[in-house]
């Protein structure tokens, strides 16, 4: 009975994340598309992130909810459709995570390198970055099709996904370490550096001048900006830590509980619904006062 209750809750949360991902990403795409003031040469990075999360909400999450409601009856462990959805799961999750990383790098450069930002981040380089992200993610998601790794239906996750087990340590380390852990750490390090810069500026004091007079910028302006930027980093970090922990534990021979597997999977998918909100919060103040 307890397991049934957890499964029902998991189904509800999966549907909620699916609706949230679709709604939030469509709204942000429309906002960016119709508001010229929010657009810049590197806006394609944000569009790419929204499209990744939107496709994830339209494909993988509905399939997961469908599996939960039917108890996975429509899949065999190596079904061809299962392989397709597992490929999409890895491809879109990695593309979303790396796109989020580059969106953060773009904001970091605009805040901390304002004099060189226009030269460093051009429209051409933004498109090259997007192309590189997709090539990298497609190659990683294709590894199980050439014998490096394995896609299977995960009974407790109710989705088709990579199999993290002790027999596939090399594949698991590549996906977890390079695909997930490194981007998350880059985002966290950039956020910490932004906080350091903001604290330094607040302690030093800054003056803004116009045609009539100069005035001091209050320290609270810097602190307000950094609080929201850190919050935008905190949510993805908290969502991915359980997934990384469970995956590493299973890779080196352990077996996580069904509840831990469900929670870690749902939190990782939830980032596609949270990304639009955290990114929209940072649109108004990508420059510190």
| Number of domains forming the structure of the chain | 1
d(CA 55, CA 11): 19
The residue segments making up the domain with residue 122 are 2-285
Widest Cα–Cα separation across the chain? 73
> Quick check: 25 pLDDT over 60?
yes
Tokens for 222, please give them.
């810097």
Element (H, E) at 182: helix 182-204
pTM (2 decimals)?
Answer: 0.83
Query: From residue 195, how far is each of 226, 274, 286 by CA, in Å?
Result: 6, 22, 13
Query: From residue 52, how far is each of 56, 68, 184, 216, 287 by CA, in Å?
Result: 6, 23, 17, 42, 26
pLDDT for the residue numbered 211: 54
> Quick check: 113 pLDDT over 50?
yes
CATH number at residue 16: 1.20.1070.10
pLDDT digits (tens, 9 = 90+) for 171-215: 777 777 778 888 888 888 887 777 777 666 655 555 445 555 554
């Amino acid at each position: 009975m307890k397991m049934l209750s957890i499964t029902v809750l998991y189904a509800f949360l999966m549907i909620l994340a699916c609706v949230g991902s679709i709604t939030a990403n469509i709204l942000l795409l429309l906002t960016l598309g119709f508001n010229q003031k929010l657009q810049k040469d590197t806006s394609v990075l944000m569009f790419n992130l929204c499209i990744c999360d939107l496709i994830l909400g339209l494909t993988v999450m509905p399939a997961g909810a469908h599996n939960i409601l039917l108890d996975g009856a429509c899949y065999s462990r190596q079904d061809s459709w299962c392989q397709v959805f597992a490929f999409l799961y890895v491809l879109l999750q990695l593309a979303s995570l790396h796109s989020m990383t580059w969106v953060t790098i773009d904001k970091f450069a605009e805040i901390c390198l304002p004099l060189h930002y226009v030269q460093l981040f051009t429209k051409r380089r933004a498109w090259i970055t997007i192309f590189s992200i997709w090539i990298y993610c497609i190659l990683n998601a294709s590894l199980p099709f050439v014998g490096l790794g394995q896609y299977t239906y995960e009974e407790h996750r109710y989705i088709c996904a990579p199999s993290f087990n002790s027999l596939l340590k090399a594949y698991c380390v590549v996906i977890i370490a390079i695909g997930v852990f490194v981007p998350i750490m880059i985002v966290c390090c950039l956020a910490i550096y932004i906080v350091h810069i903001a604290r330094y500026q607040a302690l030093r004091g800054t003056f803004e001048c116009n045609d009539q007079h100069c005035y001091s910028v209050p320290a609270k302006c810097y602190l307000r900006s950094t609080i929201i930027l850190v919050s935008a980093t905190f949510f993805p970090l908290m969502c991915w830590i359980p997934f990384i922990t469970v995956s590493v534990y299973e890779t080196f021979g352990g077996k996580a509980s069904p509840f831990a597997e469900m929670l870690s999977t749902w939190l990782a998918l939830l980032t596609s619904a949270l990304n639009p909100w955290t990114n929209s919060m940072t649109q108004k103040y990508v420059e510190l006062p």
